[in-house]
Amino acid sequence: MNKPASVPEQVDAVVVGAGFSGLYMLYRLRQLGLSVKVFDSAGDVGGTWYWNRYPGARCDVPTTDYTFSFDPELEKEWTWSEKYATQPEILEYLRFVADRHELRSDIEFSTAVTAARWDEPAKQWVITTGGGREVRCRHYIMATGCLSVAKSPDIEGAERFAGPVYFTSRWPHEGVDFTGQRVAVIGTGSSGIQSIPLIARQASQLTVFQRTANFSIPAHNGPAPAETLRQLDEGRDAYRDAARWSRGGVPVEPTDVLAGAASEEVRRERFEAAWQQGELFGILNVFADQGVNPAANDIVAEMIREKIRATVNDPETAEALCPRGHYFGTKRPCLDTGYFETFNLPHVRLVDLRKEPIVSITEDGIETAGESFGFDTIVYATGFDAMTGALVGADVTGRDGLSLKEKWAAGPSTYLGLMTTGFPNFFMLTGPGSPSVLSNMAVSIEQHVDWVAGCLKDLRDKGLETIEPTELAEAGWNQHNQDCAAITLHPTANSWYMGANVPGKPRVFLPYIGGVGAYRQACDDVVTQDYLGFTRTGPGAVRCTDGVIRSMQPDVAMVMEFVNALGLPPMETLSAADARALMAATAENRPPGPEVGEVTDGVIPIPDGTLPYRLYRPAGPPEGPRPLVVYFHGGGWVLGNLDSDDPLCRDLCARSGAVVVSVNYRHAPEVRFPAAALDAFAAVQWADANAIELGGIPGQLAVAGWSAGANVAAVACQLARDAGGPRITGQLLICPAVDSDLTRPSYEENGDGYILTTALMRWFWDHYADPADRGDPRAAPLRGDLAGLPPACIVAADFDPLRDEGVAYARALEAAAVPVRLTRARGHTHTSVTMVDVIISGAPVRAEMAAALEDFFPAAEPQSSAAPQAHVS
Ligand code: NAP
């Protein structure tokens, strides 16, 4: 008789990992009445705090913040002894949590999960453990941490060393006694920086091998910060809630002090206060722009370098310890206790691998390009395959046999950092695309777990079985994640945030840098929009609400939020004079735009008088004439002047290398249609006739304009064609108004809330042109004959009411055989691409505009006497 096949174990959910996230996940799943099995290869709870037992291991977020908040009683019963608790104390805390909620009964320790496979017909995950045991579950949750898989020491000869070798990330439980030993430490990240001072206390000789000097500030450890304790006493819930909606998961008020605008005294005062405070979120918040502006960052970086020089006695060692080559904060900064001071000890030496790389590890030491070192022990503090290592290393196979490793071969792809398409009911806690490592983990973990628990409850309540993100939603989140990173200095660094520390790992910014509060809001918005971006299925039911949760550029969204919070009166409710005054007032404190070589003002004679112009000549070589761009400002034919678009003109001039002549045409309602259009044409004729005097190259004349300025630029091109000249070589139309039909979908989609509204557009038209005139091609150039017009570059912004008419103009030009380049300003509004040095994400769009201008101008003919030195690259 055959033995009956063993019945596989079955639970509602399997969780891998019993650290902060796994423990809380178990607690929440149990609350839902679900059966749960948690596996961990460790011998007890603790996750990262179970393994990372190296000397000096501590938290680097104040422990009063790095703590669970879900259980108010727990908060009363546990008191942290220090500002930054040690690893043993944090581990003790997690044991206490496990005991208090009797969590261990559902956890199997010393059990690794070796594979997980989605069984589509059964709608279950099949989990295989180290012993070959199978457990089936509906939901599979990896709570495996971001920094749990050690990076292999990719150093020649590493396996040859005969003495003891230790990894900070897998430290022996019994500890290590280095007394009397010659010790090498390789790596100067947080683990190295925390352990080196303590290893130095025991070792007879300590040699630190440093590849990249790291920024570190003194932790000033001691009792828990009195101010935090006071705030917690006054209102624990309010404090915790503020943390949940903060940027980094600790209630820190973001500063609005810009480094460039602050006096030297204020800069030093702010820096010194942050230095004395000894908190990462403080030193990362000295200036509002230090994370995005290289010059601002360098001010902080240099002040840290000064501190290092003042601490380390030997100038050469001090210089080697001064971080260079990456911006402060783009690699995880460290908190230390006596790190730099350690290099003043006579038995401690620094080897700068930038000058003297390791050639090989030998049987009894390390050989560098310049020297042979003998050691008794080597300590590797060389870091982790961060954020993705544990996930792709776990042999997870989703629908149709696709493995996570295959799917993520070019970099991770997630929705909200929580799920990934093709892997139904598979959740990651602190996955790539979540704030995780950039935040106070405890706060982020509670948010992730609460979201997953809410999601599973909702599925159950609705009788649904599976959930999985849509491809559109996932692509949108990946894009948003990269957009958020792109406006910061982070992508410039070879950091583990970028996957750059592991040879061969795709270079993608891994965590979500938009902030804990913004992330929480996005997750909440997904839920309130009926799980936007997810497909959920159940018996006979498929529910899918497809869409992208965040598609506006993050800096544009921030500015919009700021502007909307100002509660300014809608412009269309004002008189033209008041609207002009309001526009001028809002522009008062904006950045001036880049330096150019020369700015001169003048007037253009026209039959009825003169038009003011401002000319911008680029700085630097080549000497001699340049192509000429006649530019028309925005403002709905009513607002705007030479000042309003000054930063944009500087930017266009500096980027394109052309001479830009900005023209102030006459405005409505004082002078109505077709005055503005005719002024534009007159200005182009004048510029053409005076090209040489303006420093231009005759025959190399383009027009450009923004909004209503783009309208008159487009009309000028049509009038020039009809008049047989002047010859215009190109037209750059930025978010152009080209039609008086305000019924296109973009007027509906973007008609309110993004500064230029549909109502305001109506107000502009009413001021500019009588209804009977609005079909005239000189008002609505889209309605004109488009054949034979100059090549065009049209910029259409996603959140612009004018988007669709810009696109329509591009299509119509194309149909008329006019070469067109349509630049989609992804995630931008009508105004945001023009906000020079305010909206960082607008810079690539303006670079495209400048490239289009350059393309309009033919390369200078060497034999041409008119422009012998002109060069357009
Ligand atoms: P890490 O920051 O990645 O640092 C690894 C160090 O090893 C770097 O200095 C790196 O140099 C060096 N390194 C790597 N491979 C090397 C090689 N082949 N040859 C020479 N040097 C090599 O790793 P970590 O210190 O373990 O810290 C990782 C993260 O864990 C931290 O950023 C932090 O988020 C977290 N952590 C937190 C705490 C805490 O205080 N709570 C403590 C420890 C860790 P390069 O920079 O040139 O690559």
**Per-residue pLDDT tens over the stretch 184-230:** 999 999 999 999 999 999 999 999 999 999 999 999 999 998 889 99
Question: Has residue 23 got a pLDDT over 50?
Answer: yes
Average pLDDT over residues 412-421: 98
Looking at ligand 1, which residue's alpha carbon is closest to its atom 14? 382
DSSP string, 192-238: HHHHHHHHHHH-SEEEEEESS---EEE----SPPHHHHHHHHH-HHH
Whether 603 has a pLDDT exceeding 50, the answer reads: yes
Whole-number Å distance, alpha carbon 858 to ligand 1 midpoint, is: 51
Q: Which residue is closest in CA terms to ligand 1's atom 35?
A: 190
Distance 146 CA to ligand 1 centre (A): 13
Listed range (155-159, 641-645, 741-745, 863-867) with the worst mean pLDDT: 863-867
d(CA 409, CA 240): 38
| Ligand 1 lining (C-beta closer than 6 Å) | 58-60, 147, 154-155, 168, 186-192, 194, 209, 211-212, 332, 353, 381-384, 437, 496, 501
CA distance 43 to 373: 37
Q: Can you tell me which atom of ligand 1 is nearest the CA of 211?
A: 47
Using most ligand atoms within 8 A of CB, pick from 147, 194, 280, 505 the residue to mutate for ligand 1: 147
Q: What is the pLDDT of residue 153?
A: 85
Side chain identity at residue 604, one-letter code? I
The residue assigned the tokens 């971080």 is 323
Q: With 70 as the cut, is the pLDDT of residue 4 above it?
A: no
Q: Which residue CA neighbors atom 26 of ligand 1 most closely?
A: 383
The total of other beta-carbon atoms located within 10 Å of residue 527's CB is 14
Rounded Cα distance between 225 and 671, Å, is 65
d(CA 492, CA 509): 10
**Which tens digits make up the pLDDT trace of 389-415?**
999 999 999 999 999 999 999 999 999
pLDDT range class, residue 860, cuts 50, 70, 90: low
Q: Which helix (H) or strand (E) holds 556?
A: helix 554-566
Task: Read off the pLDDT band of 7 (50, 70, 90).
Answer: low
- Judged by DSSP in three states, 347 sits in coil
- Looking from the CA of residue 500, the nearest atom of ligand 1 is 48
* Cα distance between residue 586 and residue 461, in whole Å: 50
CA–CA separation, 196 and 192 (whole Å)? 6
Is 846:732 a contact under the CB 8 Å cutoff? Answer: no
Condensed to tens digits (0 to 9), the pLDDT of residues 515-533 reads 999 999 999 999 999 999 9
Residue nearest to atom 12 of ligand 1 (CA): 187
Q: Determine the Cα–Cα distance for residues 323 and 328; give it in Å rounded to an integer.
A: 8
Dihedral sign (CA 225, 231, 234, 236) = negative
Q: For residue 282, give both structure tokens.
A: 């403080």
pLDDT in tens, 155-165: 999 999 999 99
Ligand 1: which of 501, 502, 505 to mutate, judged by most atoms within 8 Å of the beta carbon?
501
Nearest residue to 94 (alpha-carbon basis) of 23, 186, 176, 40: 23
Beta bridge partners of 825: 797
CA 291 to CA 43: how far, in whole Å?
40
Atom index in ligand 1 nearest the CA of residue 154 equals 18
For atom 41 of ligand 1, which residue has the closest CA? 59
Residue whose Cα lies nearest atom 36 of ligand 1: it is 190
Residue 147 CA: nearest ligand 1 atom is 30
Q: Is the pLDDT of residue 280 over 80?
A: yes
Q: How many residues does the chain have?
A: 873
Instruction: Output helix, strand, coil percentages for the chain, rounded to the nearest 5.
Output: 35, 20, 45
Ligand 1 atom, smallest distance to 187 CA? 7
- Taking the CA of residue 382 as reference, the ligand 1 atom at the shortest distance is 7
Q: Which of 408, 387, 382 is nearest to 146 (CA)?
A: 387
How high is the pLDDT of residue 862? 41
Q: Where are the alpha helices (DSSP H) in 104-225?
A: 190-202
Q: Are 492 and 485 in contact (CB under 8 A)?
A: no
| Average pLDDT of the residues of the chain | 95
Whole-number Å distance, alpha carbon 677 to ligand 1 midpoint, is 62
pLDDT of residue 37: 98
Centre of ligand 1 to C-alpha 154, Å, is 13
Q: Cα 623 to chain center, whole Å? A: 40
* Residue 255: DSSP 8-state: P
pLDDT digits (tens, 9 = 90+) for 613-666: 999 999 988 889 999 999 999 999 999 999 999 999 999 999 999 999 999 999
pLDDT tens column, 344-379 = 999 999 999 999 999 999 999 999 999 999 999 999
Q: Determine what percent of the chain is predicted with pLDDT higher than 70.
A: 97
Share of the chain above pLDDT 90, in %: 95
Q: Give residue-wise pLDDT tens across range 527-559.
A: 999 999 999 999 999 999 999 999 999 999 999
Name the token pair of 811.
Answer: 């299509």
Cα–Cα distance, 563 to 757 (Å, whole number): 14
Res 3: pLDDT: 40
Residue 861 reports pLDDT greater than 70 = no
Residue 6 pLDDT = 62
Q: What distance in angstroms lies between residue 440's CA and the mean position of ligand 1's atoms?
A: 18
What confidence tier does 792 reach under pLDDT thresholds 50, 70, 90? very high
Q: Is the pLDDT of residue 2 over 80?
A: no
CA 151 / ligand 1 centre spacing (Å): 10
Q: What φ, ψ does residue 823 adopt, rounded to 5°?
A: -105, 115
Q: How confident is the model at residue 95 (pLDDT cuts 50, 70, 90)?
A: very high
Task: Name the helix (H) or strand (E) containing 453.
Answer: helix 441-461
Q: Please tell me the predicted confidence (pLDDT) of residue 863.
A: 37
CB neighbour list of residue 209: distance below 8 Å, 6 or more residues apart: 184, 185, 186, 187, 351, 353, 358, 366
Tens-place pLDDT, residues 670-708 = 999 999 999 999 999 999 999 999 999 999 999 999 999
Q: What is the pTM of this model?
A: 0.94
Return the ligand 1 atom nearest residue 192 CA: 25
